[in-house]
Chains A and B, each alone.
Chain A
């Protein structure tokens, strides 16, 4: 970088300082977002043709060809339930046994576990593409990240027509993770980033990211709790904001608790309210597609009950049920109650009483549920702050952190903690804690071991994370094999092992023999993760659908999307054409013809524009159809029809935002609206 580089007026210093750009990514259970800082303001980039900011974290693998990501993938959930992976974040860094346990606990996780690879039995593999492929959760997440990367490159490129094939304009990314993620889950996230061809500058804890967006925005000082209830994870963090330094005082949480669980509970309630629960339940067990539809229906009802006192739906067996908000609250109360213990623990670890907090910030879509807000108010003895969009705030904070790193900004600094104690398994399976939870990172510990047999040259160490007394009850991170210790009598060799948790919360281990000063060799065998070699191999394999044909993929995705919308529209016109005025009918016909024409071409932007135009033309129609099907549920209607109408109406909602080719900072006042707004999932 030249010292004489001067920013041109109007040009952002980011661009002047370095060739690439940096972005922040919120890789969420239900949604993912990508955000960037421009002119000192963070904003979210569009992630679909209609300018929506929330990318459904869904990947669907067709029998052949590249996977679909986002809305087009979600649209295949009912028809291809096993090839369509949603909520993959729940599987990151998990063992096959843990995933099987999740499934057997009655959770409707529609994954089909593939055959495990004998070389890494601890790695989960999902059978997709009608059994033609087996993918790891890391690869599925990488597809989502790759898509976000593509969107960001499109919009940040200064060259018209998108970036050149070989020019990467993304210099680095910050990816957020739940604060309570353990080392294996973090490592898996970082691997996914690498696999997506991203330079991961930093993994950032989600509540910390939220605080950064919130605190910098408001120039706040004081102590804050961030209550983050997302689709699949719960985090509570307590932070001290002081003079531009954000210090995390404590963190606690549950990596398998979120809005998804509410949908499950509500779906169970719907089944129980049907005319013949037993028959319906067994039908859903056999038909994964139908159960996905029921889950989507449950989610819609949950959203409606944020504002309405009751909602009506038609079940797959034709029965019409009405659910009141009180019923919903009763069904989800046990889920919300599970957040209480982590909140109390975080307060205790921070040595604070609720009255000493200057505010409680809400993050995550599930915090829109009124009874969640009431619960938070009760636990912390004060009404929560919700003036930032809980869906976007994490991504915005990640973008701010990326900007801080890229420009070595000194006005803000994050000091985070490690969420779980790090320990070593001793003889008898007892755990000795070497780094206590809530230690500020980076942090280290040293332990000296000695040999117990004459001439012993190696040593095995089992590293675990967790708060329990025995290794079995903690989470196994890795087994380290130390070799190359000089031959000595038992008890003579003194082996010093150093553990380091870096600023990302990632662990590394090194060892030295003290009497000889020799470095001992360490081999890491992650208990559930991928080895470096495996990630490398995947990276090579990914070129199959890789970097060169991203543009082609964009085109294919847009075509699939166009086809889906056209099919849905034909069906809707056939059934509900009577809801249209003549003028509307003509406008829709024209927009439809334009999309048909664009679909034949090879310009993905033109297809995107045509989709958006059609959405605008049919907005009123979609709204009326949704009103018709949901408020006065017509008995006997197939639920998939209602689903389609709801989908359609939601597609339209997205169309109001800016188009991807003209990415503008979104209006901050719109972003912060905490008033009654419908939610998009």
Chain B
């Protein structure tokens, strides 16, 4: 069985957080230009199946590498730190977030709930902006963490732990934002 290539290999990048967006776009387009199934609509079924797989790999790799959050999670997964809920359920190490963060988010949730009841759109917008600014902060931590990888005397363990922590927080915030926009959509 052929070994599946990881998302970085599919698009010809070294496994790093720092990826040039324009270069990513260019490589993706070039890849699709050569392996999109539409280019092989007349090919034999076996060849088409291969092409379909290649195009699927390209799209899936692009989706992960394009997003800062997904790319960071994927890099940690490549280093054996699986942050997916599935891994947690399968008995993986449960990572806990500090209680200060949790109580803080809980407070924001309550504020959101009250603003909704009051139909206070301005307050909801303010909460969303607050979440975004915190996400920017965590993104900064992530960027700094990835640039320190492999360069600290103490080894990468502490840096990776910090990255995992920042990613889990980001995910929390992202869900919070999704919740706000889902609610907006439903009530629009």
- Which residues on A are within 8 Å of B, measured CB to CB? 201-202, 242-243, 245, 340-341, 344-345, 348, 401, 404-406, 408, 410, 413-415, 439-444, 448, 500, 502-503
Contact = CB atoms under 8 A, between A and B. Distances in A.
8 interchain residue pairs of minimum CB distance: A405-B41, A440-B59, A442-B56, A444-B56, A503-B37, A443-B59, A341-B188, A442-B55
A88 B40 CA distance: 33
A415 B29 CA distance: 10
A440 B63 contact: yes
6 contacts: A202-B38, A341-B185, A413-B39, A414-B38, A440-B62, A442-B37
Contacts of B181: 348
A193 B86 CA distance: 41
Contacts of B41: 201-202, 405-406, 408
A245 B33 CA distance: 8
B39 A500 contact: no
Contacts, number: 62
Contacts of B38: 202, 401, 404-405, 413-414, 503
A245 B38 CA distance: 12
Interface in B13-60: 29, 32-33, 36-42, 52, 55-56, 59-60
A440 B181 CA distance: 22
A401 B55 CA distance: 18
B37 A413 contact: no
B60 A245 contact: no
Interface in B169-188: 181, 185, 188
Nearest to B36: A413
B122 to A, nearest CB: 19
Interface of B: 29, 32-33, 36-42, 52, 55-56, 59-60, 62-63, 86, 181, 185, 188
Contacts of B60: 443-444
Contacts of B40: 408
Contacts of B42: 405-406, 408
Contact of A502 (B33, B37, B62): B37
B56 A443 contact: yes
Contact of A408 (B39, B52, B63, B188): B39
Main secondary structure of the interface of B (DSSP, over half): helix
Contact of B185 (A345, A406, A500): A345
A242 B29 contact: yes
Contacts of A202: 38, 41
Given A341-B188, A444-B60, A415 B52 contact: no
A340 B42 CA distance: 40
B55 A503 contact: yes
A179 to B, nearest CB: 17
B63 A245 contact: no
Contacts of A245: 29, 32-33
A441 B188 CA distance: 29
Nearest to B54: A442
Nearest to B40: A408
Given A410-B39, A413-B32, A503-B52, 8 more contacts: A245-B32, A406-B41, A413-B36, A415-B32, A442-B56, A443-B56, A443-B59, A503-B37
B59 A413 contact: no
Nearest to B57: A444
A348 B177 CA distance: 13
A436 to B, nearest CB: 9
A443 B61 CA distance: 10
B166 to A, nearest CB: 22
Identify which of A401, A404, A443 gathers the most chain B CB atoms within 10 Å of its CB.
A443
A441 B36 CA distance: 10
Nearest to A412: B38
A211 to B, nearest CB: 15
Nearest to A415: B32
Nearest to B59: A440
A405 B56 CA distance: 19
B150 to A, nearest CB: 30
Contact of B29 (A201, A243, A404, A503): A243
Contacts of A442: 37, 52, 55-56, 59
Contacts of A341: 185, 188
Contacts of A443: 56, 59-60, 63
Given A345-B185, A440-B63, A443-B59, A502 B29 contact: no
Nearest to A442: B56
A67 B11 CA distance: 53
Contacts of B52: 442, 500, 502-503
A108 to B, nearest CB: 29
Identify which of B36, B37, B41, B63 gathers the most chain A CB atoms within 10 Å of its CB.
B41
Nearest to B85: A432
A348 B32 CA distance: 25
A352 to B, nearest CB: 15
A415 B36 contact: yes
B63 A439 contact: yes
A497 to B, nearest CB: 13
Nearest to A407: B42
A201 B63 CA distance: 27
Contact of B59 (A242, A340, A345, A439): A439
B22 to A, nearest CB: 12
A414 B185 CA distance: 29
A98 B156 CA distance: 57
Nearest to A517: B1
B91 to A, nearest CB: 11
A373 B52 CA distance: 40
A341 B188 CA distance: 7
